[in-house]
């Protein structure tokens, strides 16, 4: 299975607070520089990268001189606000040493559960990657209203892997990977090199305990791997302090724990699309559009749509039918019903003139379309 790591073209790399802040002593800029050097080398090899970085709360605590993680929500949010400035500046500076551009994106889980915001985030990330910019993503801890947990960024990283259709999620942690038992208490514990993400036996060996800065532990990383597997991504849980860890993973070295999805990337994503959302409307296609969808992996352009029915928002699932009314596909609409009504039957070049703006040239992008 290690060939899946070496051949992966799009990586999401998640780095935890304990690694980034040297267990609360402030940002470990030397360690950050080492990871950045490896990520820059990966990018030079053609790997597309998205970085999910924890550390804002811990960096803020260090700047404020707090040794213990606060309990009060307003204090956690204040620490996050202060620490996020420190964190993003450190990443920008480190990547800048290699003339690499970065972008800051703050997300909450709500951003990825709301269909319209999901598509907006997806479009932004896709554009940044196409512009050869490395997105640096963190949870927007300053505005979340539920309990801020260290494990949230493991989950967030998995959702980002779903969002950008990543081939590989790499979770860098302060452990070398998943073990058959807790190696801190059992000298006979053995590293689990490879397994299926959905293997129920893994639940028994995943520790639920986190560190002083964290609230996650290995259980959240296992859960993240299972979330990433829904869209077909492989996950590696591996020690971030291992020398040249990212470069060695790329070279195919057997490091950490590799958790594989049940299905391949495309098949898993299509199943996720098919079962995840309710349909909100119908698009009636002309014969040319039907043929294009049926004979090749094509996006649906406005010019190929004759009519529409229903009321749907951007990001909601719609059914595509042929001129006789037979369903041939379904997918996530890039435009609302009101917007789509103005552009159907028109070329993509006319979208901006007709609407006054353009979000996407496609009515449904091929990555968000499934044939039925």
Q: Is 141 labelled a binding residue?
A: yes
Report the C-alpha gap between 249 and 196 in whole angstroms: 18
Q: Is 153 labelled a binding residue?
A: yes
Report the C-alpha gap between 310 and 281 in whole angstroms: 4
Tokens describing residue 236? 């590696």
Backbone angles phi, psi at 61, to 5 degrees: -60, -45
Task: Match 């968000």 to its residue by tokens.
Answer: 368
Q: Is 342 labelled a binding residue?
A: no
Residue 238 pairs with which residues in a beta bridge? Answer: 172
Residues 6+ apart with CB under 8 A from 288: 304
Q: Is 54 labelled a binding residue?
A: yes
Between β-strands 327-332 and 234-239, what pairing exists: parallel, antiparallel or unpaired?
unpaired
Backbone angles phi, psi at 223, to 5 degrees: -65, -40
What is the DSSP code (8-state) at residue 299? P
DSSP H or E segment with residue 339: helix 337-343
The CB-based long-range contact list for 271-279 (8 Å cut-off, 24+ gap) reads 272/162, 272/230, 272/231, 273/317, 273/330, 273/331, 273/332, 273/368, 273/369, 273/370, 274/330, 274/370, 274/372, 277/115, 277/316, 277/317, 277/332, 278/317, 279/317, 279/318, 279/319, 279/330
Task: Match 């949230």 to its residue by tokens.
Answer: 152
Q: Is 3 labelled a binding residue?
A: no
DSSP H or E segment with residue 20: helix 17-20
Q: Is 14 labelled a binding residue?
A: yes
Residues annotated in the binding site, as ranges? 14, 54, 141, 153, 173-174
Which residues are part of a known binding site for substrate? 54, 141, 153
Known binding residues for ATP are 14, 173-174
């Amino acid at each position: 299975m290690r060939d899946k790591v070496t051949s992966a073209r799009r990586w999401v790399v998640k780095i935890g607070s304990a690694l980034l802040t040297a267990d609360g002593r402030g940002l470990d800029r030397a360690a950050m520089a080492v990871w950045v050097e490896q990520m820059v080398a990966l990018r030079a090899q053609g790997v597309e990268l998205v970085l999910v970085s924890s550390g804002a709360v811990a960096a803020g605590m260090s700047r404020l001189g707090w040794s213990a993680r606060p309990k009060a929500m307003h204090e956690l949010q204040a620490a996050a606000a202060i620490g996020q400035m420190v964190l993003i500046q450190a990443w920008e500076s480190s990547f800048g040493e290699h003339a690499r551009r970065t972008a800051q994106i703050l997300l909450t889980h709500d951003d990825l559960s709301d269909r319209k915001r999901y598509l907006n985030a997806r479009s932004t990330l896709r554009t940044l990657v196409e512009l050869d910019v490395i997105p640096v993503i963190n949870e927007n801890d300053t505005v979340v209203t539920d309990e801020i947990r260290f494990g949230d960024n493991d989950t967030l990283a998995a959702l980002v892997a779903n969002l950008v259709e990543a081939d590989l999620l790499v979770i860098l942690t302060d452990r070398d990977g998943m073990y058959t038992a807790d190696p801190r208490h059992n000298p006979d514990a053995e590293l689990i090199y490879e397994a299926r993400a959905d293997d129920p036996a893994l639940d028994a060996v995943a520790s639920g305990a986190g560190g002083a800065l964290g609230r996650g532990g290995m259980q959240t990383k296992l859960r993240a791997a299972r979330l990433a597997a829904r869209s077909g991504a492989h996950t590696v849980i591996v020690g971030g302090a291992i020398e040249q860890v990212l470069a060695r993973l790329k070279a195919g070295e057997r490091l950490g724990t590799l958790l594989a999805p049940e299905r391949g990337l495309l098949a898993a994503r299509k199943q996720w699309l098919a079962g995840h959302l309710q349909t909100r409307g119908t698009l009636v296609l002309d014969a040319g559009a039907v043929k294009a969808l049926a004979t090749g992996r094509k996006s649906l352009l406005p010019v190929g749509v004759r009519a529409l029915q229903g009321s749907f928002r951007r990001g909601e699932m719609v059914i595509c039918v042929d001129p006789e009314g037979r369903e041939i596909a379904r997918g996530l609409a890039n435009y609302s019903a009101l917007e789509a009504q103005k552009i159907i039957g028109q070329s993509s070049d006319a979208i901006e003139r007709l609407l006054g703006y353009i979000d996407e040239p496609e009515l449904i992008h091929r990555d968000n379309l499934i044939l039925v």
